[in-house]
């Protein structure tokens, strides 16, 4: 089996394990390329069905095209979509001007925690990858979060032979990471091979494109002429710039992402 087929088979195996072993399950769909690949893999795993809802944590600061695209795709595919916002923080005027980490903490981490508890999720499927940044590189496929959504990263359980963490106290939940082993280039090659539709923001307009999608104030575009998936693959095959270089919250301090993720950030 070639590399992409074996990644696909492994992700499908993980999705099926999550569905078989965890209680209420949801898939975090950020509208970006990774979670869109996840959506595609879920369709494959369950033979055209999606036996769990899709969740969008809406910070209220997302790039506008993302919201329109989200609603259109959800309607087209008939997805059960849960949109959640931290309304209290937004009403209080929370935004990146209050400090980027505080903003991510309130509008993403807290919003996610509220949503998890409101719907009683036992498993959240998240499209993070090891090659994105350091603390994600150390993740487990099934990663436990305690009652406060905290991640005990210094004491992770053993994970071997496809036997994942599926026993945990009530009130905890599991972050399921089916794309952990994929690289950014794998994702784009797979999108190309499968012909998966992705949002237009990734393609070049006026010599610039988004490489990673997030909130409008904190996400920058890169210089690129790539107008098609094939051109993106070609660009990534030679680039040595990091994927999340355009994501401001990562650059706040050396361990910004580790700190955010310890408290429950995706």
Do 260 and 109 touch, CB atoms closer than 8 A? yes
- Write out the binding residues for another protein, residues 75-94 only, by CB under 8 A: none
Tell me which residue has tokens 């580790």: 258
How distant is the alpha carbon of residue 265 from its chain centre? 10
Gap between the Cα atoms of 70 and 27, Å rounded: 14
Gap between the Cα atoms of 263 and 147, Å rounded: 11
If phi over 0 gives left and psi between -120 and 50 gives alpha, with beta otherwise, what is residue 168? beta
- Closer residue to another protein (CB): 44 or 61: 44
Q: Is position 233 an interface residue for another protein (rule: CB under 8 A)?
A: yes
Gap between the Cα atoms of 178 and 186, Å rounded: 13
For the record, the structure tokens of 37 come out as: 């690949």
Q: Is position 138 an interface residue for another protein (rule: CB under 8 A)?
A: yes
Q: Is position 238 an interface residue for another protein (rule: CB under 8 A)?
A: no
Which part of the chain contacts another protein (CB under 8 A), choosing from 52-60, 94-102, 207-215, 250-258? 250-258
Instruction: Find the helix or strand (DSSP H, E) in which 123 lies.
Output: strand 123-125
Gap between the Cα atoms of 63 and 161, Å rounded: 40
Contact residue for another protein among 47, 93, 223, 238 (CB under 8 A) = 47
> What is the contact mask toward another protein in residues 2 to 41, using x (rule: CB under 8 A)?
xxxxx-xxx-xx--xx-xx---------------------
Q: Is position 189 an interface residue for another protein (rule: CB under 8 A)?
A: yes
Gap between the Cα atoms of 177 and 145, Å rounded: 13
Q: Is position 163 an interface residue for another protein (rule: CB under 8 A)?
A: yes
Contact residue for another protein among 84, 98, 242, 248 (CB under 8 A) = 242
Total residues interacting with another protein, rule: CB under 8 A:
60
Contact positions toward another protein, by CB under 8 A? 1-6, 8-10, 12-13, 16-17, 19-20, 43-49, 51, 130-131, 133-135, 137-138, 140, 153-154, 156-163, 165, 167-169, 181, 183, 189, 192-193, 233, 237, 239-242, 245, 254-255, 258
């Amino acid at each position: 089996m070639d590399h992409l087929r074996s990644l696909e088979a492994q992700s499908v195996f993980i999705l099926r394990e999550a569905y078989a072993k965890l209680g209420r399950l949801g898939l975090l769909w950020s509208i970006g390329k990774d979670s869109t690949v996840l959506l595609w893999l879920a369709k494959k795993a369950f033979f055209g069905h999606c036996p769990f809802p899709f969740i969008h944590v809406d910070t209220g600061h997302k790039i506008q095209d993302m919201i329109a695209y989200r609603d259109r795709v959800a309607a087209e595919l008939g997805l059960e979509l849960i949109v959640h916002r931290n309304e209290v923080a937004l009403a209080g005027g929370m935004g990146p001007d209050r400090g980027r980490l505080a903003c991510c903490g309130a509008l993403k981490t807290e919003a996610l925690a509220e949503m998890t508890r409101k719907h009683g999720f036992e498993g959240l499927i998240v499209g993070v990858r090891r090659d994105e940044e350091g603390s994600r590189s150390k993740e487990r496929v099934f990663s436990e979060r305690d009652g406060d959504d905290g991640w005990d990263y210094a004491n992770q359980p053993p994970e071997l032979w496809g036997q994942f963490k599926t026993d945990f106290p009530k009130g905890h939940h599991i972050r399921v990471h089916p794309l952990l082993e994929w690289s950014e280039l794998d994702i784009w090659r797979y999108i190309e091979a499968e012909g998966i539709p992705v949002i237009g923001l990734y393609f070049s307009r006026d010599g610039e494109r988004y490489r990673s999608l997030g909130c409008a104030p904190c996400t920058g575009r890169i210089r690129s002429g790539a107008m098609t998936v094939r051109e993106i693959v070609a660009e990534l095959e030679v680039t040595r710039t990091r994927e999340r270089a355009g994501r401001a919250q990562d650059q706040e301090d050396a361990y910004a992402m580790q700190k955010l993720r310890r408290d429950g950030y995706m």
